[in-house]
Chain A
């Protein structure tokens, strides 16, 4: 393993809501102060701050990290913004890791915030600018297009049905019903509800998609010698990996996320994992759309290509299954404040591995979990493996 050992020692978050009264800096403060409180640390024990947030266009504020910084505890601290689109939440934790693993800092406060509700009439407006200004934007694209195009390529290649995929939305929204911060938990949702929801961009329907969310999440990371003083249950970073595919997305095979596999292989190698399907006990893959969870499980090598849907259909991916997938409830259920959603997955592993997940607790004392996020123009994979 590269560098010094690094652990997560505390975590906190806001509730995930459609529209928060709080401003971005206030949301950042709520999450950061809860994370520090959870490990009984104070800001003067924080050496560096890592801030993650998605495009400035959502907030209509340039230099968003400077804007957020007072609430994120960055006053007078070395501070960096990490940004890889939707992959940011897990990437920020990776940055926290290398800040400390390098020996430069002993502690880091990692804060991810997103306030999507400010952008009117719909935050999709901010997404329209990810397309190429000359060869794509004149066609009037919207963000749903790329998901729908990718979902269709994936479904068609493996002969999957809409029902196979809708089961993911059902599982995650049901799991989220037990999450105290969740926006869209629903213990009674059925596969028919998903299949009968409004068609947005076939094959994508309303309940295949995660909601628009305001929220923030923070974790405290520390070097080995500090972590052991702070808590008797540090959750260690065992592996990290990240990779970016070509911007020429129409030239890629959209049915398989190669960049996720590349990121996962780096993380597995670092963690010394040879058989990920046996050695990973909890998975929190990025699920902004239901098919993405399946797509990512395959990229993570946790399912054969085209076979991830079977894990869900057979109950293997349930919270009490052999390989629990998204016990938090994920982006589909807890909500999708872009960067904060990825870090929520990291925080979920922290709570699960410490046995603190309450009604969501995965049985059997899991020892190791993997969180993954994804983003930019469908091209980045970020992976972190945590263990206790």
Chain B
């Protein structure tokens, strides 16, 4: 099959740095204002008030978070808002030592999927863990799947109706 591989030209870093090839550079800038929508709009308003809420579908009986106005499984409207706790269980986590552009982070971030108490089992949201250490080893020592965690909220005056109104989740009893 070697005959059917085209001898494509791979460039080296030096080819770019020493301008051996021509190139055009320009940023693409876009700015958007995304509507939060019916379900997540209410979710954000409740976050501002220091509460987590979900939506129940009476047919499959799931309590869903993030909330939605329709059940994608039963394909019908969901029925009611359900207050949830601000505690939960770590379903999975990572210890991320780089930013999106591969720059090293001074202190690793700990993204996690957290199953929220009061929602159906396995209903998680994406957030971060905090107060769990400053190095990969320290964090791996303190965090495990199944860890019980609780939300740490921004002070009420600084909340703005955003997912970041919860600063992070920390181990219960920490």
Contacts and interface: CB of A to CB of B under 8 A. Distances in A.
Overall SS of chain A's interface: mixed
B1 interface: yes
Interface string A345-368: 000000100001110000000000
B163 A199 contact: no
A153 B101 CA distance: 25
B151 to A, nearest CB: 13
Interface in B59-73: 64, 66, 68, 72
B100 A124 contact: yes
Interface in A96-147: 120-122, 124-125, 127-128, 131-136, 138-145
Contacts of B162: 138
Interface in B113-139: 113, 122-128, 136
Contacts of A18: 10-11
A162 B169 CA distance: 27
Given A17-B9, A250-B66, A251-B124, 13 more contacts: A21-B21, A30-B8, A33-B6, A134-B36, A134-B37, A140-B100, A142-B96, A148-B111, A149-B93, A149-B111, A150-B92, A253-B122, A351-B1
A136 to B, nearest CB: 5
A308 B73 CA distance: 30
Contacts of A17: 8-11
B44 A20 contact: no
A139 B1 contact: no
Interface string B74-97: 000000000000000001111111
Contact of B94 (A60, A201, A356): A201
A254 B115 CA distance: 13
Contacts of B108: 202
Interface of A: 10-15, 17-22, 27, 30-31, 33-35, 37-38, 60, 120-122, 124-125, 127-128, 131-136, 138-145, 148-150, 152-153, 156, 180-181, 199-204, 214-215, 246, 248, 250-254, 351, 356-358
Contact of B40 (A35, A37, A135, A143): A135
B145 interface: yes
B4 A200 contact: no
A122 B124 contact: no
Contacts, number: 179
Contact of B7 (A15, A128, A153, A254): A15
A138 B5 contact: no
A134 B163 CA distance: 8
A152 B140 contact: no
B31 to A, nearest CB: 12
Contacts of B6: 12-15, 30-31, 33-34
A199 B126 CA distance: 21
A27 B8 contact: yes
Contact of B4 (A38, A140, A156): A38
Overall SS of chain B's interface: mixed
A246 to B, nearest CB: 6
Contacts of A202: 94-97, 108, 136, 140
Contacts of A214: 8
Given A22-B8, A60-B28, A203-B94, A250 B100 contact: no
A145 B95 CA distance: 9
Contacts of B100: 122, 124-125, 127-128, 140, 142-143
B18 to A, nearest CB: 14
A246 B62 CA distance: 15
A106 to B, nearest CB: 22
A180 B2 contact: yes
- Most chain B CB within 10 A, of A14, A135, A140, A156, is at A135
A199 B97 contact: yes
A122 B66 contact: no
Contacts of A10: 4
A181 B101 contact: no
B69 to A, nearest CB: 13
B152 to A, nearest CB: 14
Interface string B17-41: 0000100010010001010110010
A143 B100 CA distance: 7
Contacts of B8: 14-15, 17, 20-22, 27, 30, 214-215
Contacts of B107: none
